[in-house]
Structure 1
Amino acid sequence: MRVLAQGKIEQLFDILNRSTELIQKAKDQSYLDSFIETLGFIQSDDEEDDELTEADTKKLTNIYADFNPDDFTAETFRKAIQMAVLKAIRVDTIQANYQLTPDTIANVIGYIIAGIFHDRKELSILDPAMGTANLLTAIYHQLQTSIGVTPTISGIENDDAMFELAADSVELQKIHAELFHEDTIQNVLAPVVDVVVSDLPIGYYPIDANAKGFATHSDTGHSYVHHLLIEFGMKHVLPGGFGFFLVPSQLFQTSEAKQLLKWMQGKVYLQGLLNLPKELFANAAAQKAILILQNAGDGAKQVDPVMLGEFPSFKDQQAFTKFLTEIDDWEQTDLL
């Protein structure tokens, strides 16, 4: 079955890629912009494009001659779109914040969420920096499969291109989602949810005036955007709810960390910090970790012990499975 599924992913990617390359060449524009046009094209009944020649329009029509979106599952669409975005990053030499969260990491976060909320019939999730929504939708599908819950999902994204990709991806996967095309730090009126999850952009937020309303803002100069987004995220989590953030492994070892720690006191509990395998990152400074926070209230308490550790290599299946078992035991014995 896996071979067949992989074949369908490659089949769909081939259609999307050929269409994108045709538009890219015809309009002399980036692969990413051409791919966004492709996603718009396959959702529209209108096969006309005034900017394409008659010959190119005919070629495009031929590419889609046997295309039927109903032949492909939602996960197939997600993964084919993921492949196309990865190609866009390579071809267009796109900035680091466009990088997708690998499925291996999304699966780990989804696994931890499933363990905590295994007995829930309903679940709401928000990503305050959703990018192309790959992490959000990967977890959505995983929770459907693993614990039989169809989450209510919401996401916020400021970048025009990433928001378009997210909106198209969600539409093609036939997922009902509430998406906000806004700057999260301007305090979007987003829903309050059970879980916030995000692969946070790392660096400085440029508009100091917007950051002033956050307890985690820097006293001098620009503030860390990942600190601001953690605070925003946890303010949009219900009492006792959780936040799962991909953060720098050295999050609490910078001089700016004192503001973050000060804000956390009495508001959120640090329940876990799990370093991802070093092999996933170009150097030690780029290593990331899964930060697990829980809002105070609704019976939540500081767990003892805090779940600290480093995932073994994802290639070492035996050690990886053993580590997941340790997380299971920690969730059931200490956290819940």
Structure 2
Amino acid sequence: MNFEKIEEAYNLLLTNTHLLQSHLATNFYDALIEQNSIYLDQKTDLKELLVNQQKLKALELSREEWRRAYQFILMKAAQTEPLQANHQFTPDAIGFILTFLIDQLGDKEELDLLEIGSGTGNLAETIVNNSSKKIDYLGLELDDLLIDLAASIAHVVDARISFVQGDAVRPQVLKESDFIISDLPIGYYPDDQIASRYQVASSDEHTYAHHLLMEQSLKYLKPRGYAIFLAPNQLLTSPQSPLLKEWLKKEAQILAMISLPESIFASSNQAKTIFVLRKQEKKPLTPFVYPLQDLQKQEEIVKFSENFQKWRKDSEI
């Protein structure tokens, strides 16, 4: 990976986006979407923009270099036009852990993967770019802006990923997948009538959206498939957790719980744990429970990897 090329691409993308932001009198994200469109079709009256587009093409970036450049652009945008917490992209360190889990658990060379709440598409490209498997990826996202942004970036980098728009809590016509992943959006789901169709529904208040999404996700999972969720540390101790645990007893097995260092989150209240689930099976299983202390230390990651592989072998998964 060439970091000088990534920095040059970042600067060109930033310049172009600012030019379009002023020219179109729009927000940063819509300007970035327009920049991506012009990169592809080269249709604009702004000569400086066209010159910069040619410079971008001449860099011949790899998909991963493109991803890093766009990641820096979105980090820059967040300084002046921050996305809400549920729309911010999953940190790379977590994305690489999820990729490792997919590579370890996937028993085929080609895997179908559905992401619930695909956001800006950064996690999608992290996995597709770095997995040892051939991933057939589909992202489901409700937000108009995020869908347009993710799709425009995917077209520029020629990524093998696609997106559909929809409310993941409502039933969707989707094929079953080998893997379901989600950095679960946290909060209450506002439509009590829709929520009441679920086993995890609360009769006293709005139901947690992340509980509903977990239950819904397993409906799209193939037999022997895996669901990997980033969920709050308090998932199994929150006020509505008895409803979730009752559903888990009937429908799902927790295979792994991997806690993440609080230091990578904005606050301890936002800290999350990786939960790996599969549909309920009769075979008893001792879950893999592991506290990751520091994602920057290579020896820590190696130790985690070795422990997970040993557990997988011993558990005959």
Shorter-chain TM-score bucket reads over 0.9
Q: Which string of whole-angstrom CA distances, capped at 9 and with x for unpartnered residues, describes residues 193-242 of structure 1?
A: 00001111111112222222222222122111111111111111111110
Candidates 243, 260, 265, aligned match of 1:276? 260
1:60 matched residue in structure 2: 49
* Runs ≥4 residues deviating over 6 A: none
Q: How does 1:31-50 map to 2 (within 5 A)?
A: 31-48=28-45
Amino acid at match of 2:288: M
Alpha-carbon spacing, 1:282–1:93, altered in 2? closer, same or farther (3 Å): closer
Q: Quick one: distance in 2 between partners of 1:97 and 1:88?
A: 16
Deviates more, 1:103-112 or 1:205-214: 205-214
Q: Does 1:111 align with 2:100?
A: yes
How many Å apart are 1:249 and its aligned residue?
Answer: 0.8
Alpha-carbon spacing, 1:134–1:109, altered in 2? closer, same or farther (3 Å): same
1:30 matched residue in structure 2: 27
Alpha-carbon spacing, 1:289–1:104, altered in 2? closer, same or farther (3 Å): same
Candidates 7, 10, 18, aligned match of 1:10? 7
1:140 matched residue in structure 2: 128
Candidates 93, 112, 116, aligned match of 1:124? 112
Q: Which string of whole-angstrom CA distances, capped at 9 and with x for unpartnered residues, describes residues 23-72 of structure 1?
A: 12233332122112111221223224xxxxxxxx1222232243327812
Q: Is the 8 A contact 1:271 1:302 kept in 2?
A: no
How many Å apart are 1:244 and its aligned residue?
Answer: 0.5
Q: Does 1:89 align with 2:95?
A: no
2:234 matched residue in structure 1: 250
1:287 matched residue in structure 2: 271
Q: Does 1:20 align with 2:20?
A: no
Tell me, which stretches of 5 or more residues in structure 1 are unaligned? 49-56
Q: Is the 8 A contact 2:64 2:129 kept in 1?
A: yes
1:54 matched residue in structure 2: none
2:300 matched residue in structure 1: 319
Q: Quick one: distance in 1 between partners of 2:264 and 2:252?
A: 29
Q: Quick one: distance in 1 between partners of 2:161 and 2:55?
A: 29
How many Å apart are 1:124 and its aligned residue?
Answer: 0.6
Q: Which string of whole-angstrom CA distances, capped at 9 and with x for unpartnered residues, describes residues 141-184 of structure 1?
A: 221xxx3x211111110101110111112222323334211111
Deviates more, 1:133-142 or 1:194-203: 133-142
Q: Quick one: distance in 1 between partners of 2:41 and 2:227?
A: 37
Deviates more, 1:267-276 or 1:204-213: 204-213
Alpha-carbon spacing, 1:135–1:302, altered in 2? closer, same or farther (3 Å): farther
Percentage identity across paired residues of the two chains? 27
Tell me, which stretches of 5 or more residues in structure 2 are unaligned? none
Q: Is the 8 A contact 2:151 2:162 kept in 1?
A: no
Q: Quick one: distance in 1 between partners of 2:161 and 2:47?
A: 35
Please, what TM-score do these two structures have when normalized by structure 1? 0.89
Candidates 271, 281, 288, aligned match of 1:307? 288
Candidates 113, 136, 139, aligned match of 1:155? 139
Please, what TM-score do these two structures have when normalized by structure 2? 0.94
Q: Quick one: distance in 1 between partners of 2:316 and 2:121?
A: 28
Deviates more, 1:166-175 or 1:9-18: 166-175
3-state SS of 1:13 partner: helix
1:220 matched residue in structure 2: 204
Alpha-carbon spacing, 1:211–1:271, altered in 2? closer, same or farther (3 Å): same
